[in-house]
Amino acid sequence: MTTKEKVIERIQALPDDVDVEEIRKRLDFILGVQEALEASERGQTTPKIAVKGMVRQWASR
């Protein structure tokens, strides 16, 4: 399934009264997940220990 087909499928699954902002948020999320999966397949990941450090930093703000 192409990216376009996936996006259309996700949009069609939304309620008929959904607003444009919600569609934009959902598309941003879908695209972010897709980019992360592609990066992971290329071996471009962040080590677990580094992620733990990032989470600690975010939590302390």
pLDDT digits (tens, 9 = 90+) for 23-49: 999 989 988 998 999 999 999 999 999
Q: Could you tell me which of 30, 28, 29, 21 has the C-alpha nearest to residue 3?
A: 30
Query: Measured between alpha carbons, how far is 61 from 54 in angstroms, rounded to an integer?
Result: 11
Query: Measured between alpha carbons, how far is 26 from 45 in angstroms, rounded to an integer?
Result: 23
Instruction: Examine the pLDDT at 1 and tell me if it is beyond 90.
Output: no
Q: Could you tell me which of 37, 43, 45 has the C-alpha nearest to residue 3?
A: 37
